[in-house]
Amino acid sequence: MGFKFAAGNVLILMLVAQIDAARPHISLELNKPSQACVQDIFASLKTVGPLVKGIMSAVTDCKNDATKCASDVGSITSELAALSEDIEAAVTACGGGSTACAADISKAVGAIAQAETAISNAVPDCKGNNTAKCTADISAAGVDLAGAVTDIVSAIKDCATESVKSVTDPSQACVTDIVTAVLDIKPIVSGIQQAIPDCKNSTAGKCAADVGGLITALGSLSEAIEKAVSDCGGGSSSCAGDISKAAQAVGEATTAISKAVDDCKGGDKSACTGDISAAGVALTSAAVDAASAILDCKNTSKIA
């Protein structure tokens, strides 16, 4: 399931992340539209982080405290609107870019819109004391955001101007590993989105197949994260912290899916789909942490 791309593209990813604070001795040769494009994409990525934390808090609060729940949902609604503004700015700034660039941003826009719809559904459900439906709506928004994060990371790769000639950088394998891990999350998110309705409405066999596929995919993702831990050794404390948090979140997703195996076999559909949704929220956190590591683990100090 791993995603591989050329070293030249890895180089671009590592260099464009320096746009906000480029060192004087680094020459990126980015044209103005591409520079604005990449800046807007990174702004979107930075906006997602606190939004995901808010969603994770809301899942807990909306089970136990109606007042906190209402406050959380209101904050998430506002933060989603801000994220939409950031990604819409990227749509404008990245106009005229490659087909892949446009497709990445379009997918991110769609995923964010789905998250907004889920949160809109949460407003009446949470007010009506329908705790199960309320938390399901919020979890669905979290899973949609995980997809948006992977699309945003794809856009970082595809929307940069390919104009830097060469680089010698010991962190190249590290950044490659991290991007691979982030992009590996995308099909798992799709699998979770498929498993939730299957385990709620379809036969036990189909649900079991979905959950089994998720366990296998999460195992591969764990291996990708472990490779990043190895290759990024010796990096900054923030780099190590990001990867450690991503690994922990993947572990939480794996635990939730492992629990789903028993709950889904036992016929408790509510517990079963709750486990799968919990895995989706954990994966959203993993995606954000891994994407943050792209910013923190890069090293562009050696330019040939």
Over the stretch 151-167, which tens digit does the pLDDT of each residue have?
Answer: 887 887 777 643 332 23
Whole-angstrom Cα distance, residue 31 to residue 132? 50
**What are the DSSP E strand ranges found in the chain?**
none
Output the pTM of the full model: 0.70
Query: What residues contact residue 142 under an 8 Å CB cut-off, 6+ apart?
Result: 52, 55, 56, 59, 115, 277, 280, 281, 284
In angstroms and rounded to an integer, the radius of gyration of the C-alpha atoms of the chain is 19
Tokens standing for residue 258: 């492992």
Q: What distances in angstroms separate CA 56 from CA 31, 133, 257, one per listed residue?
A: 39, 16, 17
| Range with the poorest average pLDDT among 39-48, 130-139, 191-200, 293-302 | 293-302
pLDDT above 90 coverage of the chain, percent: 22
CB atoms inside a 10 Å sphere around CB 259 = 17
Between 250 and 295, the more confident residue is: 250
pLDDT digits (tens, 9 = 90+) for 176-217: 888 888 888 889 988 998 998 899 887 778 899 999 999 999
Alpha-carbon distance of 200 to 204, in angstroms, equals 9
